[in-house]
């Protein structure tokens, strides 16, 4: 899903920037963008997107805080289970 959204946004941005060669089409697209930005649906969509981003940031912050200073009294849980946090510093066999 994320790939499709990124592809659609990239295609739209490329089309927008590429249409600058045709001045009439460029002006038409700019008028349409301004009209959409003034709409109520745009405001609702941007508010929802901001809420989703804020929720994701809050969850990430909580996750980091729980890993850094949660159950272990401030000591991060080792990634390897052998006391080291760096995956490249594993004990030799």
Lookup: tokens for 11: 């295609």
**Comparison of pLDDT for 82 and 31, the residue scoring more:** 31
Residue 32: pLDDT band (50, 70, 90) is very high
**Tens-digit pLDDT profile for residues 43-82:** 999 999 999 999 999 999 999 988 887 555 555 555 555 5
- In 2-86, where does DSSP find H-type helix? 2-18, 23-37, 40-69
Does residue 90 register a pLDDT over 60?
no
**Tens-digit pLDDT profile for residues 10-25:** 888 888 777 666 778 7
């Amino acid at each position: 899903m994320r790939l499709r959204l990124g592809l659609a946004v990239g295609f739209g941005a490329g089309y927008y920037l590429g249409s600058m060669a045709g001045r009439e089409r460029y002006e038409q697209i700019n008028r349409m963008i301004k009209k959409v930005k003034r709409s109520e649906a745009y405001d609702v969509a941007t508010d929802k997107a901001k809420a989703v981003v804020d929720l994701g940031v809050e969850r990430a912050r909580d996750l980091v805080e729980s890993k850094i200073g949660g159950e272990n009294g401030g000591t991060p849980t080792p990634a390897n289970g052998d006391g080291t946090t760096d995956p490249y510093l594993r004990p030799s066999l």
